[in-house]
Chains A and B, each alone.
Chain A
Amino acid sequence: MSTVSMTSAEPDLLYSEEEEALRAAVRDLLTDHCAPADVIARAESDAPHDLALWKTLADGMGLARLLVPGEHGGQGATHREAAVVLEELGRAVAPVPYLTSAVVATEALLACAGDAAAGLLSRLASGRTIGALAVGLHTAPGGTFGAVRLESGLLHGELTGIADAAVADVLLVPAQDGGLHAVEADDVTLTPQVSLDLTRPLSALSLDGVRGSRLGDAGPAVHRALRAGAGLLASEQLGLADWTLTETVRYLKERAQFNRPVGGFQALKHRLAQLWLEAAGLRAAARSAADALAGEQDTDVAVAVAQAYAAPVAVHAAEEALQLHGGIGMTWEHPVHLYLKRAKADSIAYGTAGAHREALARLVGLEAP
């Protein structure tokens, strides 16, 4: 019978001064270059990603290299800093492949030894190459994932639900030999899927005799990548919930009905106070997951707790924002729909809350009947 893991030291749940400075820099940039109206307009085009913004963030500010160690051209920062970046990207529903390339694909490569992985890691760290792990976005850490056939050294098969593959230069593809293979995106036939989340679109991939280079074992690499993705997604969800709450409070102070600001009605005040409580909890849970990933202590439990909690909170915040904005919230021109779509898609990404609760049941010894 497993016992509950009691951590000896509590996680550091605050933000350091450096992290706050990083936040301010990212937020300033997004305020100037990621206006909601532009995100909506871009979402309707054939190229929903904002690659100019990506270049500034990843190449200009060096954010793509946060998780990469110094010897591979990285900053050797930690998941705590990457989490702060994701909070701000969530606040702006920024259409950039940060989570998928700078976190998930990067973590997959960090799990692989050898020159091929090291070389690719340096390319991703520079921000000039975008990577995508070719595993369906819905997959939970420890979940089963699709793999393509390897025949006479060439890769054959179809994969679906691959986030941000549309802008990837390199795809990290699991194959049935148990390996993870790097494939140049130009060699793969990519079909965009019509996605619920317009700002993190999915694609189907078709590999028809493509040459790849084996990076390492797929199992541990995919597990590590998805665990980091799930853990840091909570910070994106926090940023998203924070934006919807702040914006709704602002609107309800301005909007008058029955000769009073709508925000003065107790029925609405209690709903907003409840959301604030949930967001405060999400902040603690997201910080705990980021700190655990950075320190590799109690990580599985911290990530599962954060993801079991984050999705319902982010979706609730976006749904309340829509309802409390009234009719304007239902329109295409108001950005709240971008947040609702991202929040709902995030509730499936890297495992649903239910999948994380199941993982938790095993981790803390609360087995099912």
Chain B
Amino acid sequence: MTNTEELRRRTGELLAAHPPATTGRLDFLKARFDAGLAWVHYPPGLGGLGAARSLQAVVDAELAAAGAPDNDPRRIGIGLGMAAPTILRHGTEEQKRRFLRPLWTGEEVWCQLFSEPGAGSDLAALGTRAVREGDTWVVSGQKVWTSSAHLARWAILIARTDPDLPKHQGITYFLCDMTDPGVEVRPLRQITGEAEFNEVFLTGVRIPDAHRLGEVGDGWRVAGTTLMNERVSIGGMRLPREGGMIGPVARTWRERPELRTHDLHQRLLRLWVEAEVARLTGERLRQQLAAGQPGPEGSGMKLSFARLNQEISGLEVELRGEEGLLYDDWTMRRPELVDFTGRDAGYRYLRAKGNSIEGGTSEVLLNIVAERVLGLPAEPRTDKDVAWKDLAR
């Protein structure tokens, strides 16, 4: 088993062979991947060493201290957080070797073609069709809320391959080349004024069968890996005290005594306490994972942060009074990254509204907690045994 000492030694060897000061960024990242120090819990040959996940921190700390370049994990978050674990778990050896390295180095950005205008919370109702023609699948349909689609080289895609089966059984999972003919990406301007998401229109897109992930008709199970990792990555960031949305509003309170009122003070203190407790809950979850005792708290972290972000940013707009009537900039932009805390209070207020919708609505997540954590009975299902083509829509 790989231990801390061995990781330090391997990291030292990487730095000696490829000094960050004289090595190009991409060359260093490729060398790091090949040394198994990209994600140490991945298998050897695929950027890892089969080590404990918690040991990644040892490598990261050593590399940061040496001033090594990183792979800009936020910019490639969808690839790292969702595509990679799904390819690792369900992909063929050839797919893993083809896709994981450029994914990790950031040479290839990924996006996620899951949601559709008619299939949001009821994702398994999706209607994008994939029809087999020999060794090729011909895909047509419309996807929506696709972050990074305008930057992405590849997409993870789920499509319906058998409309005569019940909705969960007729779905297949593909890796879609975003440069293929028939893929059209249109910006979708949103409540904040910017276009962080896209609509993606797929018209007769031809995907080789070699880019199918998992068995035909097994796409819902494969997508389960993606969705589980999506929620973990949304709720899982590590924060210092006042590290989240509460930070800017607490700073405004301290720096602008003329804005203070007793009513706002009470509300601020309540939210400060709740933010600190949510932070501690996340910290406890991480300690459980590190100790090999995963708890169910992960299901709840996204729920708590969504509500808190909305309440805190709402309070901040009000606290600013006259300034709260203003907005920094309505220009339509297409940002590479979503910056939750970098713009003004009005932006944070509007953007946070999405936190209880994206990656699973709060209503769906409450059902998941009730059924999977508390063991309460599921809602009666009227769609389970009905062919997809016969469902109401």
- Which secondary structure dominates where chain A touches chain B? helix
Chain B residues with CB under 8 A of A305: 273, 276-277, 280
Query: A368 contacts which of B241, B265, B291 (Cβ < 8 Å)?
Result: B265
B241 touches A4 (CB 8 A): yes
Look across to chain B and name the residue whose beta carbon is closest to the beta carbon of A248: B374
Look across to chain A and name the residue whose beta carbon is closest to the beta carbon of B278: A281
Interface residues on A, range: 35 or more
Interface residues on B, range: 35 or more
Look across to chain B and name the residue whose beta carbon is closest to the beta carbon of A310: B277
Chain A residues with CB under 8 A of B215: none
Chain B residues with CB under 8 A of A70: none
Q: Mark A272-303, 1 if CB is under 8 A from B, else 0.
A: 11101100111111011000000000000000
Residue B375 is within 8 A (CB to CB) of chain A in the complex: yes
Residue B366 is within 8 A (CB to CB) of chain A in the complex: yes
Most chain B CB inside 10 Å of its own CB: which residue of A249, A253, A273, A365: A273
In the assembled complex, how far is the CB of residue A355 from the closest CB belonging to chain B, in whole angstroms? Answer: 11
Look across to chain A and name the residue whose beta carbon is closest to the beta carbon of B269: A357
Most chain A CB inside 10 Å of its own CB: which residue of B268, B278, B303, B370: B370
Cβ < 8 Å to A, chain B residues 221-270: 240-242, 250, 253-254, 257, 260-262, 265-266, 268-270
- Count CB-based A-B contacts (< 8 Å): 130
B253 touches A366 (CB 8 A): yes
B269 touches A273 (CB 8 A): no
Chain B residues with CB under 8 A of A369: 257, 260-262, 265
Look across to chain B and name the residue whose beta carbon is closest to the beta carbon of A14: B287
Q: Mark B272-299, 1 if CB is under 8 A from A, else 0.
A: 1110111011011001100101000100
Chain B residues with CB under 8 A of A253: 375-377
Contacts A277-B369, A357-B270, A366-B268: A285 and B240 contacting too (C-beta < 8 A)? no
Cβ < 8 Å to B, chain A residues 1-20: 1, 4-7, 10-14
A269 touches B284 (CB 8 A): no
Query: A263 contacts which of B270, B274, B376 (Cβ < 8 Å)?
Result: B376
Look across to chain A and name the residue whose beta carbon is closest to the beta carbon of B277: A281
Chain A residues with CB under 8 A of B280: 11, 13, 281, 284-285, 287-288, 305
In the assembled complex, how far is the CB of residue B78 from the closest CB belonging to chain A, in whole angstroms? Answer: 27
Chain A residues with CB under 8 A of B61: none
A368 touches B262 (CB 8 A): yes
B269 touches A361 (CB 8 A): yes
In the assembled complex, how far is the CB of residue A352 from the closest CB belonging to chain B, in whole angstroms? Answer: 13
Residue A264 is within 8 A (CB to CB) of chain B in the complex: yes
Residue B93 is within 8 A (CB to CB) of chain A in the complex: no
A261 vs B380: C-alpha distance in the bound complex, in angstroms? 11
Chain A residues with CB under 8 A of B373: 273, 276
Most chain A CB inside 10 Å of its own CB: which residue of B272, B304, B367: B272
Contacts A277-B304, A281-B304, A366-B269: A4 and B366 contacting too (C-beta < 8 A)? no
Residue B300 is within 8 A (CB to CB) of chain A in the complex: yes
A364 touches B272 (CB 8 A): yes
In the assembled complex, how far is the CB of residue A186 from the closest CB belonging to chain B, in whole angstroms? Answer: 44
A4 touches B370 (CB 8 A): no
Residue B378 is within 8 A (CB to CB) of chain A in the complex: yes
Residue B107 is within 8 A (CB to CB) of chain A in the complex: no
Residue A22 is within 8 A (CB to CB) of chain B in the complex: no
Residue B358 is within 8 A (CB to CB) of chain A in the complex: no
Residue B379 is within 8 A (CB to CB) of chain A in the complex: yes
A282 vs B374: C-alpha distance in the bound complex, in angstroms? 17
B268 touches A6 (CB 8 A): no
A309 touches B375 (CB 8 A): no
Query: A12 contacts which of B274, B287, B297, B379 (Cβ < 8 Å)?
Result: B287
Cβ < 8 Å to A, chain B residues 361-375: 363, 366-367, 369-371, 373-375
Chain B residues with CB under 8 A of A1: 254
In the assembled complex, how far is the CB of residue A165 from the closest CB belonging to chain B, in whole angstroms? Answer: 32
Chain B residues with CB under 8 A of A128: none
B374 touches A264 (CB 8 A): no
B379 touches A264 (CB 8 A): yes
Contacts A288-B280, A366-B250: A280 and B297 contacting too (C-beta < 8 A)? yes
Q: Mark A298-318, 1 if CB is under 8 A from B, else 0.
A: 000000010011000000000
In the assembled complex, how far is the CB of residue A317 from the closest CB belonging to chain B, in whole angstroms? Answer: 13
In the assembled complex, how far is the CB of residue B185 from the closest CB belonging to chain A, in whole angstroms? Answer: 36
Chain B residues with CB under 8 A of A249: 374-376
In the assembled complex, how far is the CB of residue A299 from the closest CB belonging to chain B, in whole angstroms? Answer: 14
In the assembled complex, how far is the CB of residue B243 from the closest CB belonging to chain A, in whole angstroms? Answer: 9
In the assembled complex, how far is the CB of residue A269 from the closest CB belonging to chain B, in whole angstroms? Answer: 4
Cβ < 8 Å to B, chain A residues 234-281: 249, 252-253, 260-261, 263-264, 266, 269-270, 272-274, 276-277, 280-281
A282 vs B266: C-alpha distance in the bound complex, in angstroms? 20
Residue A360 is within 8 A (CB to CB) of chain B in the complex: yes
Chain A residues with CB under 8 A of B262: 368-369
Query: B273 contacts which of A6, A13, A252, A309 (Cβ < 8 Å)?
Result: A309
Query: B241 contacts which of A6, A282, A309 (Cβ < 8 Å)?
Result: A6
A365 vs B255: C-alpha distance in the bound complex, in angstroms? 11
In the assembled complex, how far is the CB of residue A294 from the closest CB belonging to chain B, in whole angstroms? Answer: 16
Q: Mark A171-208, 1 if CB is under 8 A from B, else 0.
A: 00000000000000000000000000000000000000
Look across to chain B and name the residue whose beta carbon is closest to the beta carbon of A287: B284
A273 touches B283 (CB 8 A): no
Most chain B CB inside 10 Å of its own CB: which residue of A11, A253, A369: A369
Query: B377 contacts which of A260, A273, A365 (Cβ < 8 Å)?
Result: A260
Chain B residues with CB under 8 A of A283: 281, 284
A273 touches B272 (CB 8 A): no
Known: A13-B280, A13-B284, A264-B380. 17 other contacts (CB 8 A): A1-B254, A11-B280, A11-B283, A14-B287, A263-B377, A264-B378, A269-B366, A269-B376, A276-B373, A277-B369, A280-B300, A284-B280, A308-B273, A360-B273, A364-B272, A366-B250, A369-B262
Nearest 10 pairs between A and B by C-beta? Answer: A264-B377, A269-B370, A284-B280, A369-B260, A273-B369, A13-B284, A284-B281, A263-B376, A357-B269, A273-B366
Q: List 19 A-B contacts (CB under 8 A).
A: A1-B254, A11-B283, A13-B287, A269-B371, A269-B374, A270-B363, A270-B366, A273-B369, A273-B373, A273-B374, A276-B374, A284-B284, A285-B277, A288-B280, A309-B273, A360-B272, A361-B265, A366-B250, A366-B269
Q: Which residues of B contact A (CB under 8 A)?
A: 240-242, 250, 253-254, 257, 260-262, 265-266, 268-270, 272-274, 276-278, 280-281, 283-284, 287-288, 291, 293, 297, 300, 303-304, 363, 366-367, 369-371, 373-380
